[in-house]
Structure 1
Amino acid sequence: MRRLVVAALVVLATLPALAAGAQVNASITGVTVSPQSPAPNESVTFTPTIRNLEGSGDAMVIDSVELRPSGGQGLPVYTRAQNLGTLSPGAKITVPLTHRFEEPGTRDLRIHVDAQNANTDESVELRYPVSLSVQKRHPQIDVQTNDSVAGVATNGSVRVANGLDTGVSNVEVAVSGDGVTVFDDRSVFASLEQGGTATADFRFRPERAGVNELTATVTYTLPSGTERTVTRNQTIETEPARRGVVLETSRSGSGTEQTLTVDIVNQGNAPAEDIVVTGVSENATISQTIVDSVPASSTRQVRLNATLSEPRADVAVTADYESGTVQRSVNATATLRATPASIELTGLDVAREDGLLQVTGSTSNVGTTTARSVVVRVVPSETVEPAPPNRDFFVGEVPGSDFSSFDLTARATGNVSSIPLEVSYLVDGERITETFAAPVDSGLAGQEEQQTGGGPGVGLFAVLGLGVVTVLAVAGLLFRRYRRGDDDDDVDI
């Protein structure tokens, strides 16, 4: 009996030793946090890795994994995962825990694992400290504006730079202003990756001079679905509008077709837009032109085509334009002049035909306007007189820098060295008369007098001719009588 009791005691003594040897050897090997620097009210995920080590003596049943503040017992549990199953020796599990922190600041946290030995129900507790900084961070906003003038629209832009450690989506940029009218005030971007930038352009018009303020509001969505808004105010200095558009004119060309050059000089501090330049004249037809814009402190040159109907044309030049919301106008004057018509007789030639002198040539207009009612005639003198059929010649119109031919006839008496000619024409309603001389070759001078006059040379030739005729007549008569005498002698024999 004593031996049996001893044996039983030995068996009972050895059982606790065997149970104590079957322990769980587990740990939390690490915790990942995403995002690492969250903003207030942004969803943060803590993912611990729980491992039952290879040398563990038994499996481990995980009851719960919790996220708690660091400290003693009784602190609140931020979030937990429960009933995660059994973890065999050598196995591991990752458990994501998500929570949002409403206020910024640094937080000391702890991952708490409650488990038990799968065979002995022995309690197993694992701890892992986690530190988290909740920062009130947003993408950076930069507002850029051009110099502004009261009542004048100008350009601006909002640049959004995502410095967060995550991408964002549904990015909306809106611009507003106090005392400022904003055009194209809203831009939307589907997404903005981490480290990326986006630029939203807009136009704005301050309604008054002085200090004005623009407000840029950016709304975006975090990957967790949280929508966030950030604003940026930008102060702008607005100058009062200053007029300063002037016109400077110059011309080119000397005929009836000329060019009027107009320089649009913007000396103001606002652009001149939608400019219409016109010219008006009673004595010319002027074209018009349109200019989109002339920036402040800039010059734009345009050309207007002008057709003159008179040698002089006074032109009123007008530029109508818009400066801001105000319609304005500026004027200038210019004078266009064409070289008036002037007729010269060129290519003069004198020839004899049928006892008359034929004078030919051209009426050449050395001016740039039209000479009208051009008439050329022979001027009578002591030795020259007009003769039909062309005592005078009506040329009509001779355009500028052009010519027209004419043909005159004259009768000359005695030695003549030139034929006096007269040309008359109208220029701007005024008749101009000028005289020219058509030179006569020496071989033609005096021929008409020798043929038709009664000088001694002509009488001598007439007497000599009559004598020759008389001699020939007497000789013929004697010859006939001599033959007749011969014939009578023959008959008597």
Structure 2
Amino acid sequence: MRRLIVALVVLATVVPATVAGAGVNATITDVDVSPGAPAPGETITFTPTVRNLQSSDDPLRIRAIALRRASGGLTEYTRVESVGTISPGADISVPLTHAFDNTVTRDLRVFVYAYNPNTGDSVQLRYPVTVSVRERHPQLAIETNDSIAGVDSSGHVTVANGLNTSISNVEVSVDGDGVEMLDGRTVFASLAAGETATAPFRFRPESSGPHELTATLSYTIASGTDRTVRRTETIRTEELREGVVLDASGVGSGQNRALAVDVINQGNAPIQDVVVTATSENATFRRAIVREVGPGNATEVRLNTTLTEPRADVAVEATYEIGTAERSASATAELRSVPGTIDLTGLTVTREGGRLQITGSASNVGMTTANSVVVGVVPTDGVTPVAPNKDYFVGTVPASDFVSFDVYARTDGDVSAVPVEVSYLVDGDRKRQTFRVDVASDAPDRETPSSSGDGLGLLPVVAVAGVALLVVVGILVRWYRRDDGDDADL
């Protein structure tokens, strides 16, 4: 709507009308006009001040005060009669009211019809007034967010009351071509002079391109006159561009295994009420709900997962609303469960006193912690677990870590391998696995060599012991003699 520029001017030409003679000196000293910038239909108050000067000999009695057109006939707009009597040196102010329906500039006159009550002589006073009535309303401004065809959008109307008086029964409504108004009406009880208010509205464009929105303000001015003003703005609506992508991958491990799904909105409108689900033959999932994902943004959700097999092919789907339409996007993912798994690594077999000592590491090659790990020799034909470690409690082995162990066994006959079992807990389940540890025929022997039947095997040991005894005795004798010499000197 074409903006209405309002200019209001009230001119009061101060030309005091003084009447002297017949014992009365009187004048109209001023005419106050309110409001100073009236609008069509707004009540204007003209208040002349009539003064009987101190130099008067007699009082002044006023029959009537009238507001008339300055020229062009005897048009009279308003009149007040039987005003009263003014003594010498006193004055009186009398309001006159009138409203002009159209924008106009008027040259007016205030007439005072009076007389001298002592002599009966007539007295007439005049005062020129010029008033300009202009179309003037509170200002309106329309602002909206970027609008997308078929998508809910919002905006607001700002109402600024630039009038010098308050307005009441204020109603703001918005309408438009090619748009569906979802919420377009706001009401205010009143709006004071100089006050600003905001009226929100919601709409949905039916198509892309330019659209006109018109805001209508209805209100009542102080005189009780209902007035209306409109403002129109043109907005441009974009074509809807959709683009939702899902990116899914497995996260966590063990009982904390989950499917992480990124919902990526590559379009130019928000998507709402997003529901993300996943299905698989070998797994079950919880669903996730997202209220809104803005254009150009992404949101990650996690679907808690329970795997029934180590591997699962997953189909992921997200349903959502965009504008008034329902849409969906899909993706696939693969989940693998690698629970804690104990393997025996670095195995070494050593013969010791007729026993086999088996040492190595219980290594966790999985992705979760293994608890209560126990390694032990399995008794079979020709293999017997023996002390000191028939089995070995390893305890806890974190993911990708190891703990060393050693166990002992005795073999009888031709035994090429010793069965060793490892058992452990993973996610509350007890796992067991048996490894066959090869026994090499040339395994190192840690046994102490036994002595021969003629006793010659003890000769080196006895010789060394005798030499050591002689050295100790020599040292003791030397210390004894030194102690005696010290006592002789004393």
Equivalent residue of 2:150, what SS?
coil
Per the alignment, residue 221 of structure 2 pairs with 222
Per the alignment, residue 7 of structure 1 pairs with none
Q: CA deviation at 1:279?
A: 2.4
Higher Rg: 1
Q: 2:383 aligns with which of 386, 407, 410?
A: 386
Describe the superposition over 1:209-266 as per-residue Cα deviations: whole angstroms up to 9, x where unpaired: 3332222111111111111111122222222322111112344445563343322221
In 2, distance between residues paired with 1:400 and 1:21? 122
Describe the superposition over 1:452-475 as per-residue Cα deviations: whole angstroms up to 9, x where unpaired: xxxx979x99xxxxxxxxxxxxxx
In 1, distance between residues paired with 2:325 and 2:198? 31
In 1, distance between residues paired with 2:221 and 2:151? 38
Q: CA deviation at 1:366?
A: 2.7
Runs of at least 5 residues in structure 1 that lack an aligned partner in the other structure: 1-19, 451-455, 462-493
Q: What amino acid is aligned across from residue 195 of structure 1 in structure 2?
A: G
Per the alignment, residue 419 of structure 2 pairs with 421
Per the alignment, residue 31 of structure 2 pairs with 31
Per the alignment, residue 286 of structure 1 pairs with 285
Q: What amino acid is aligned across from residue 128 of structure 1 in structure 2?
A: Y
Q: What amino acid is aligned across from residue 164 of structure 1 in structure 2?
A: L
- Normalising by the residue count of structure 2, what TM-score does the alignment of the two structures yield? 0.73
Change in Cα spacing, 1:231 to 1:329, as seen in structure 2 (3 Å) is same
Q: CA deviation at 1:435?
A: 3.4
Conservation of the 8 A alpha-carbon contact between 1:149 and 1:240? yes
In 1, distance between residues paired with 2:385 and 2:30? 131
Per the alignment, residue 202 of structure 1 pairs with 201
Q: CA deviation at 1:177?
A: 2.5
Q: CA deviation at 1:117?
A: 0.9
2:164 maps to 1:165: yes
Conservation of the 8 A alpha-carbon contact between 1:61 and 1:118? yes
Conservation of the 8 A alpha-carbon contact between 1:46 and 1:98? yes
After TM superposition, the structure 1 = structure 2 runs for residues 359-374 of structure 1, keeping only pairs within 5 Å, are: 365-368=364-367
After TM superposition, the structure 1 = structure 2 runs for residues 60-459 of structure 1, keeping only pairs within 5 Å, are: 60-71=60-71, 74-253=73-252, 255=254, 257-339=256-338, 341-344=341-344, 365-368=364-367, 385-387=382-384, 401=399, 409-412=409-412, 420-421=418-419, 434-436=435-437, 442-443=445-446
Q: CA deviation at 1:83?
A: 0.5
In 2, distance between residues paired with 1:314 and 1:408? 45
Q: CA deviation at 1:313?
A: 2.3
Q: CA deviation at 1:36?
A: 1.4
Equivalent residue of 2:276, what SS?
strand
Q: CA deviation at 1:400?
A: 8.6
- Normalising by the residue count of structure 1, what TM-score does the alignment of the two structures yield? 0.73
Q: What amino acid is aligned across from residue 419 of structure 2 in structure 1?
A: L
Q: What amino acid is aligned across from residue 261 of structure 2 in structure 1?
A: V
Conservation of the 8 A alpha-carbon contact between 1:347 and 1:362? yes
In 1, distance between residues paired with 2:252 and 2:277? 19
Which of the two has greater helix per residue? 1
Q: CA deviation at 1:433?
A: 6.9
Conservation of the 8 A alpha-carbon contact between 1:356 and 1:409? yes
Describe the superposition over 1:65-89 as per-residue Cα deviations: whole angstroms up to 9, x where unpaired: 00111126x4121000000111111
C-alpha RMSD of matched pairs (Å): 4.3
Describe the superposition over 1:98-121 as per-residue Cα deviations: whole angstroms up to 9, x where unpaired: 111111111111111100012111
Equivalent residue of 1:274, what SS?
strand
In 2, distance between residues paired with 1:91 and 1:75? 30
Q: CA deviation at 1:60?
A: 0.6
Runs of at least 5 residues in structure 2 that lack an aligned partner in the other structure: 1-19, 427-431, 456-490
Bigger mean CA deviation after superposition, 144-153 or 433-442: 433-442
In 1, distance between residues paired with 2:69 and 2:323? 62
Q: CA deviation at 1:333?
A: 1.4
- The share of aligned pairs that are identical, in percent, is 51
Change in Cα spacing, 1:103 to 1:49, as seen in structure 2 (3 Å) is same
In 2, distance between residues paired with 1:53 and 1:313? 109
Conservation of the 8 A alpha-carbon contact between 1:363 and 1:406? no
Q: CA deviation at 1:325?
A: 1.1
In 2, distance between residues paired with 1:226 and 1:66? 24
